[in-house]
Structure 1
Amino acid sequence: MSVETRASVPTVSGSRYLQQLCKHWAHKFAVAFDATAGTVPFTNGAVLTMTAEAEVLQVQVTAPDAETAVSMQGVVARHLDRFAFREAPLAFDWSEPV
C-alpha cells in the first residue's frame, strides 16, 4: 500500500518553481508538466505531483512506504529551495505519511 504526504508551500512563484524543477529532473525521469501542474515518477517508486495556485504550490509525494516518503520530502524541499533561493527556505507544512 502506498504512502501519501502533502504540503502547501506559500509562494507567488509556484508555477516558475514547478517548471524549473520538472525541467531539472526531465533528463532522468519521465516528467510531465505545464505551467500549473507537474508529475515526476522516480525510480524508487515515489511520485511527486505539484500544482501551482495563485499564492501556493501544492506538493504531494506518493511513495511505496513511509521511509521513502520522508526521504522524498527532503529531496523535494532541498531542490525547490535551490530554485527559490531568493525566498528560501520555503515553508513546507508536510502532513504525516498516512
Structure 2
Amino acid sequence: MKAETTFETPRAGRFLGQMCKHFGHKAPVTFDERSGRIELPFGHAELTASDKGLRMVATAETRTQLDRVIEVMTSHLERFAFRENPDLGWTIIQPAI
C-alpha cells in the first residue's frame, strides 16, 4: 500500500535533510539534497524536495503498517517544521488488492 502528501514550503531541502539525518541514527537511510529514503521496521518513506515543497510517499504491506509510517513521518515533520505549522493531508495512492 502507498500514500502520499506534499508539504508546501520553500525549505523542503532543509526539512528533507533534517528528517533523514534524524532517522539515520535509528534506521537505514539514504539521501542527498533532493531525495531520501527512510527504511522503518514496518515500511518505508521516500522524500523528494522541490521548489514547490516536500513530497513524501509512505509504503507498507498492510494498512496498519502504512498508518504507522504516516503517523511517524507526520509527527516528525510537524516537530521539525513547527514554525510553518504543516497540515498534511495524506492520500492513499495504491490500496491493497
Residue 19, structure 1, aligned to residue 17, structure 2: yes
What is the TM-score normalised by the length of structure 1?
0.89
- TM alignment of 1:1-98, pairs within 5 A: 3-44=1-42, 46-88=43-85, 90-96=86-92, 98=95
Q: Larger helix proportion, structure 1 or 2?
A: 2
* Matches of 1:71 and 1:29, distance apart in 2: 15
| 2:7 aligned partner, one-letter code | V
Q: Larger strand proportion, structure 1 or 2?
A: 2
| 2:29 aligned partner, one-letter code | V
What is the TM-score normalised by the length of structure 2?
0.90
**Secondary structure of residue in 1 paired with 2:19:** helix
Segments of structure 2 that go 5 or more residues without pairing to the other structure are none
* Stretches (4+) displaced over 3 A: none
Q: Are the aligned partners of 1:10 and 1:91 in contact in 2 as well (CA < 8 Å)?
A: no
* Per-residue CA distance 1:16-72 (angstroms, 9 max, x = gap): 01100100011111100011100001122x011000010211100000111111121
Q: Are the aligned partners of 2:5 and 2:56 in contact in 1 as well (CA < 8 Å)?
A: yes
* Matches of 1:17 and 1:26, distance apart in 2: 14
Percent identity over paired residues: 30
Aligned CA RMSD, in angstroms, stands at 1.1
Segments of structure 1 that go 5 or more residues without pairing to the other structure are none
